Structures are given as structure tokens and as C-alpha cells.
Structure 1
């Protein structure tokens, strides 16, 4: 693997964070707002992992040319996203069950 490419374990974590951010961004109905939020989230993700958009794009180009590596990363990412979704559904279920119904007078 070329030295200027983000290693698979780190890239997997970056892609996970990007997909979580994309999920949130897709819930924003106002296009201009979603673009601003997206830019901010991506910058935060790049900063968190010590990369920039150019290194991310360069690495994605590499991984697109090496689909087996990308596929292996996405198998792990999909499991993590599914686990997170189950946890969120459980939390929502608990929150809904704790809603207090007002007493009828």
C-alpha cells in the first residue's frame, strides 16, 4: 500500500463517522442548511483523524481501485452501523415507555 494512503483500520473508522454524519444530514430538510452542516461535520471528522479532504479523496480513489479491501472495510462498518441502530431503537423504545400519561380528572 502506498505511504500516502490512509491505512484500512483508520479509513474504516473515518468511513463509519462519515456515514453516521450522512445519516443525520439526510434528515435536514433545508438544502442550504444541510450543505453547511455537512461541510462542518466532514471538517470535524478530518480533524479528528488528522487528515484533510485531499488525503481522504486520494485514499478513496485507491480503495475504489482495490474493491476487496473496500469490501472488507464495509463489512465491519455495516455491522457497526447495525449495532448502533439497534441501540438507538432500544433507547427510543425505553424513552417512549417512560412517557407519563396525564391523569384524567
Structure 2
């Protein structure tokens, strides 16, 4: 019995030690996935401003997601498969989200920053 237990753990160790870095077919390339996820999160943010009435998310959100997927020549099935693949690799998905965070922060900063001259010109002088 101990021989089989030892064999089981040896095989288990061998299988876990062998890493396959090959990306399966149908997975969205990493840089494209970063841009796609960035756009998905922008859509998520825009949908959050829609009043929450029944079917409002479906009515307003579906077309936005379809447009994003069309822009990247993909669909929701391929997106889900790719997200599952990258999510199974915690270090990789963390690195991807670090990049996404930088891009989203830059977008928010560009929207929130109004040039000082425009503010001064908008305020009436007394």
C-alpha cells in the first residue's frame, strides 16, 4: 500500500512540476486582453450611472459590451475563456491588472484635470 501512495505522490509531483507555458488556442493575446479589459471596465463604469430599473442593465449595457467585443474581433465566449485562462495564473493576471489600473487612472486624471486657464476664464470678474 505504501508503494502505491509513494507512486501516487511521485506522479503528482511530476505533473505539478511540469509547467506548460504554451497558450491554448482561442485565448486572446495578453496585450489585447489588457486593452479589452480596460474597455470593459470603462463600460462597467458607464453602466453604473444608469438608473437601476428592471432590465436597464440589459437594455443599456448589452449593446455597449457587444460594441467592445466587436472592436476587438471577439465575442463573450472567447472573452470568458481567456479570462478563465489568465485568472488561473495569479501572477500574470495581477501584472495585467497593474497595467490596467495605470491606464484607467490616466483616463480618470485626464477627465478630472481642467486646465487652470479655463477655470479662470469661466469665473466672471468683478
TM superposition score normalised by structure 2 = 0.71
1:6 is matched with which residue: 28, 34, 37? 28
Structure 1 ranges of 4+ moved more than 3 A: 91-101
Aligned equivalent of 2:48:
26
Bigger radius of gyration: 2
1:53 is matched with which residue: 76, 88, 91? 76
Query: Following the alignment from structure 1 to structure 2, what is the Cα–Cα distance between the partners of residues 75 and 14?
Result: 14
Q: Which has the higher contact order (CA 8 A, sep 6+)?
A: 1
Q: Contact (CA 8 Å) 1:8, 1:69: kept in 2 or not?
A: no
2:110 is matched with which residue: 87, 91, 94? 87
- How far the C-alpha of 1:98 sits from its partner, in A, is 4.7
Q: Contact (CA 8 Å) 1:25, 1:37: kept in 2 or not?
A: yes
Aligned length: 103
Which structure 2 residue ranges, 5 or more long, are not aligned?
1-22
RMSD between aligned alpha carbons?
A: 2.2
Aligned equivalent of 1:15:
37
TM superposition score normalised by structure 1 = 0.84
